[in-house]
Structure 1
Amino acid sequence: MNSPPPLTAPTTSVSGDTGLPIATVERETGLGKDTLRAWERRYGFPMPSRNSSGDRLYSAEHVQLLRMIVRLLDTGLRPGKVVGLDHAALQTLLARQTPTPRSFLSKTNKSDTTDNPIVEELLHTIGSHDPRALRQGLSHAQLRMGLAPFVIDLVAPLTTAVGEAWAQGRFEVFEEHLYTEVITGVLRHAIASLPSLAVPQGPKVLLTTVPQEQHSLGLLMVEALLALESCTCVSLGTQTPLTDIAEAARAHQADVVALSFSSLHKAAIVRTSLRELRARLPASTALWVGGACPALYPSALTGVSAVRHLSGLQPLVAQWRHTH
């Protein structure tokens, strides 16, 4: 089978001082600035124009293609196989791919959503541009199902389905953003509605991501499941420097630091970051990791617990309590 044709240049160009700065592209795609520059050098894509100050400017087409590439990387393909392909080639690859069930922060081991009528109904609601109906549908599902099944059996596969719908051209970027905003509000409300214990139970978990990892919805799903287990959660949001993670863990006297990694990170960088963070953390502080990054799972690093699926969080909490 012949390989899809490479993308030699975007069909639309950016001239003068118009276009998107690299910080905006980083935010819209989840790809770090260093990754974008490295791909530019290695693959010749994306090849931005420059403004009068010499800063990179990217076109809307660049962003669209990069987001398609991110979807393919999430299925397990390597950058060398997809970076630089044109829109048609990327769309063809996306149609052939199925998500790998590796992520405990955005997927579960039940990654097939084709037979889930609730997921399809909610996808239709997203496409109808009715945020109130979407919020009500998700809120009612949470009350009916209970928080843990809601997160594991509905939110996780729905999040995957929303990403796939965008990649297939069914959704626009704003529709995906709307879903993220609505489900974030629903999960935050569900967490706040959980009864508080007179005496908080351990572990106290510090949740965040390393620099250049911008995905936050997975962390919120984990926080919801941990809160349901009566854990004390402290979320720092995304992209926290390693030194700050270690300092925050000490300041909050965290029992556990929980991190997520997408498939965009190079294996060597992930393992180096984990070794460095493990060395900076107190020996008594556990380090839990998960996500779609394959480097997390082949061989566990000393002092690091890798969780493949959301359903693996409760046993890990039980194990921690048994040993403490």
Structure 2
Amino acid sequence: MDHYIRAKTWIANQIAEQLVRERQSEGTNGNFSYSLEERQAWLNDPDAYLRYRKEVELSLQGFYATCKRDNPKCVGIETKFARVMKERLWANPELIESLLPSYPPLCTRLTPGPGYLEALALPNVDVITSNIQSINATDIITKDGRHRPVDAITCATGFDTSVSSGFPIYGRDGLNLRHEYSDYPRSYLGLCTDVFPNFFHSLGPNSFQGAGSLLVMIESIHSYIAQVLERLSTGNVKTVEPKRDPVEKFTAYCDEYFKRTVYTADCLSWYKTAPPGLSTEQRMRGRVTASWPGSSVHTIKAMKSVR
């Protein structure tokens, strides 16, 4: 099997890895089922179940600190991740040079990839880092001039995650939201933007978690939107939209917040937005427009009630 790698990335261990190791068997690579005995024990002892849930949650939420440049948990995380990746590539240690990024962890989204590094080190896998130049009926041709015959090709790239993509959404005076978001996405709390009344995002600009639980963030966002909808349904109100000033202030707050984080390091990341036509170096320094400016616990507090 030939495995083509277009860019280097950090391959991290799973959240709550120790708890996973205790429950998985040989060859499961992190996918496991809770035993009937364990589920029955938790049913009989709800406090034990709550302690387990909190242990998993703490491992997930506690990881947030590593994104802040001045936090002690951020210092040394790169060395730790590099060591773990090398350990998992023990069967083919030469691969580490082709996989280890130069940017800090969390600048791009972490890839847990259970079993991925171990699979790359197998004797029947060839890791190819030369860019693909073209594909014909029988071969993949890379920029180094090599022709490699193939039986089948599986593509694992090409997703368009930008907030300017997708079907058109029109607001006042025929403004298209996709055009408004193409160069400089602005929103209020990642939920909505001015000139687009009665419109709400589920994970709009600056609402995705960099570290923490995305599920609790989605729940908080939907609960917030539900409060607005309840007001619309019971009050003497026909439309609602944020004013321009709070949209501008939240956007400015995000820009200032991310200066203190690893998300603004030089890396190509879908967390960032840059106008089309820029160089790779300029796109590396694009605005962080996907991530929420805080932890997922912070989201719960921010979305608790409508202001």
What TM bracket, shorter-length normalisation? under 0.3
Q: Which has the larger radius of gyration?
A: 2
Q: Which has the higher helix share?
A: 1
Q: Which is bigger in relative contact order (C-alpha 8 A, separation at least 6)?
A: 2
